[in-house]
């Protein structure tokens, strides 16, 4: 089983906040893949289903963002899972709007929901960060994060969430680079090139030079041949 934990704050007043893009993401997955209706368990709203042949538990912690780890940690222990079986989906100030990144482990970057997950689940879980952009100054961060997405944001937000849900099987299979390219294309960006295959190590120039030297053919007739015969004799004698 895998846990896809979308992070956000519960309640209608927070539903459209940028901080709640994690909730929006798991909502999109739940609708697209015919998961069970949302129910309450583990201090969270949960929904179960299957993606790509793998059982997946969707979670929306109801503890408020700063205590998200309490809910996710409880579910992790109940199902006897390890941190590697968890994918946290959340907002990222330091990514431009619509950009996404995936990594395993790392720091919390000042995100209180991730601080809580680190404390309750360990650090080696996967993290899908969805960019909401930075307002430009530290003083504006609070209102930006807890402010609703603007109508203009629908241009990238809806395609991003649709692509995320459509390609959730890639998340299950850990095909992260392919998944990110799908999101990039959906939001009008250019996909990142696949890493070039590593060429097998070639021979050194010295070794190549040595191998390219052909053995000299010794003369069999003439004065040089006679001299060599006197020095070394004939083979087989």
Beta pairing class for 39-41 and 126-131: unpaired
State the burial class of residue 138 (Cβ atoms within 10 Å of its Cβ: 0-12, 13-18, 19+).
exposed
Pairwise CA distance, residues 202 & 118, whole Å: 45
Catalytic residue, candidates 19, 33, 111, 144: 19
Pairwise CA distance, residues 229 & 218, whole Å: 11
Burial 177-210 (b: 16+ CB within 10 A, else e): eebbbbbbebbeeeeeeeeeeeeeeeeeeeeeee
- For residues 102 and 176, the answer to whether their CB atoms sit within 8 Å is yes
- For residues 184 and 67, the answer to whether their CB atoms sit within 8 Å is no
Helix, strand, coil shares, percent, the chain, to 5:
45, 20, 40
Reply yes or no on whether 19 is catalytic. Answer: yes
Strands (E), the chain: 2-6, 39-41, 44-51, 54-61, 86-92, 100-104, 126-131
Which residues are known catalytic residues? Answer: 19
């Amino acid at each position: 089983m895998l846990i896809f934990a979308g992070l956000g704050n519960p309640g209608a007043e927070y539903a459209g906040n940028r901080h709640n893009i994690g909730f929006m993401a798991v909502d999109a997955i739940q609708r697209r893949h015919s998961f069970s209706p949302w129910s309450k368990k583990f201090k969270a709203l949960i929904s179960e289903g299957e993606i790509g042949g793998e059982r997946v538990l969707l979670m929306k912690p109801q503890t408020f963002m700063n205590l998200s780890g309490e809910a996710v940690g409880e579910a992790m222990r109940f199902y006897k899972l390890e941190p590697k079986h968890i994918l946290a989906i959340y907002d990222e100030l330091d990514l431009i709007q619509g950009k996404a990144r995936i990594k395993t482990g790392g720091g919390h970057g000042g995100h209180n929901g991730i601080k809580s997950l680190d404390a309750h689940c360990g650090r080696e879980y996967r993290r899908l960060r969805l960019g909401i952009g930075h307002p430009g100054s530290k003083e504006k961060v609070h209102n930006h994060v807890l402010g609703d997405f603007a109508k203009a944001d629908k241009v990238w937000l809806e395609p991003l969430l649709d692509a995320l849900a459509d390609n959730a099987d890639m998340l299950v299979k850990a095909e992260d680079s392919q998944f990110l390219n799908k999101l990039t294309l959906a939001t009008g960006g250019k996909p990142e090139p696949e890493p070039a295959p590593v060429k097998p190590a070639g021979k050194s120039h010295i070794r190549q030079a040595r191998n390219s030297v052909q053995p000299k053919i010794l003369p069999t007739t003439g004065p040089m041949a006679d001299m060599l015969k006197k020095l070394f004799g004939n083979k087989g004698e």
